[in-house]
Structure 1
């Protein structure tokens, strides 16, 4: 599992001209589900995302997590994060979970986030999405499990 997290001032996702998810200050997640991912992987990643300290405290140090600042989370499924780019000039998606399995795991991941934090917004699995964001920092990290 790979999750690219970005600290944002705001972010939104549009599908077919309609905004289907939006947050103000918080985290934008791009989530890649791989063949080897399990429910345990999802639980560990959800906990890590919510506890990851990327927001500044009163002294300007990254000591606060999204829950501590009352921020939002916008989660976007992105199978391209599971790409193998080691060889050639075209990515291979052999490590990505098959679509039906990936959607089930992604939905579980989102539900784990929702059980522990609010607000959680999402895109639409496998849709052509237009994601807009104002990256704060920029602060971007790749989390892997």
Structure 2
């Protein structure tokens, strides 16, 4: 799917929040108990997303004026990569990750780490990330994955 990858703006916060919550309830709910999904949802309310926009570099994927994906970079850590459930598997996440890699390389970062959900493990593995360890926060299991970046010649 062809989409525009652009920096997120504060006025995108509500759309980003809706997108993430739908993805959590649809995709991640297959791998996590309802209590974990409910807890993580709170981290992505519109006010919480506005706060993230002020702390991290956040990008959105937009297709036909609709935000269909989001991802953020917090130093060398990839965070909050979500794609609308009906757009998953169409290259949106890969386009977002390519932009994050470009941004990281442009400031001299040569290694990215991602705290991956169980749901996204295969996605990151296909992009060359390898699992370093598991981390638990209550019932929430997270995989810490890492990838070396190769600067363009």
TM-score w.r.t. length of structure 1: 0.28
More helix by share: 2
RCO higher in structure (CA 8 A, sep ≥6): 1
